Amino acid sequence: MALKATIFKADISITDMDRNYYNDHNLTIARHPSENDERMMLRIIAFIVNAHEQLQFTKGLSDDEVPDLWQKSFSDEIELWIELGQPSDQRIKKGCNQSKQMKIYAYADNSFDVWWKKEQNKLNTKKNLSVYTLPDALSATLSDAVERSMQIQVTIQDGQIWLTFAGSHANTGSQGMESLEIEIEKHL
């Protein structure tokens, strides 16, 4: 019997002063059985920093033909292709060729460092590609904030991201609001 995706809800209020973007998003996130909390939260962070009315989650791990997130125009052209982790050369080539812009988000762990040293020169040739990392230590903190229903307030200013999680946090045992500051490093 195949395992089904677990459904999560996230109500996200975004105040992005860097891009003059102010909006609320009510997201339904289907977490694939093989996806862990850290990866799901990386998807949410990627959504937050690229938030747009047309940005949406795809089938992700369930479908090799699509990225983790994408933004399509009204004429169905892919404007933004977002991958997580350390995608293969084929995935990067496909994303860069099929979209106006491609972005990769990963945690800055040892596996990323190895991948980056190996791929950096090839990736520098892709003019529509950007690569970003979040501190590896942040993965556990974000994972602790996961709940089936999340309320997240986001403020982005001068490249800094502040997340405030409302409600009780079963994993941390805290009640009320929990705030977190995130700094994303751009590699390319």
Could you say which DSSP state residue 73 is in?
-
Spatial distance between the Cα atoms of 26 and 12, rounded to a whole number of angstroms: 6
Long-range contacts of 108-111 (CB under 8 A, 24+ apart): 108/133, 108/134, 108/135, 108/136, 108/185, 109/136, 109/139, 111/86
Spatial distance between the Cα atoms of 124 and 127, rounded to a whole number of angstroms: 7
Judge whether 126 and 103 are in contact, CB under 8 Å: no
pLDDT along the chain (188 residues), means of 10: 82 96 95 90 95 89 79 96 94 94 94 93 93 91 91 94 76 57 85
Judge whether 61 and 34 are in contact, CB under 8 Å: yes
**What is the model's pLDDT at position 62?**
56
**What is the model's pLDDT at position 173?**
47
How far is Cα of residue 152 from the mean position of the Cα atoms in its chain? 14
SS3 of 146, please? coil
**What is the model's pLDDT at position 177?**
56
Largest Cα separation within the chain, whole Å, is 48
Residues whose CB is less than 8 angstroms from the CB of residue 45 and which lie 6 or more positions away in sequence, other chains included = 105, 134, 142, 161, 182, 184
Compute the residue count for the chain: 188
pTM: 0.89
**What is the model's pLDDT at position 2?**
60
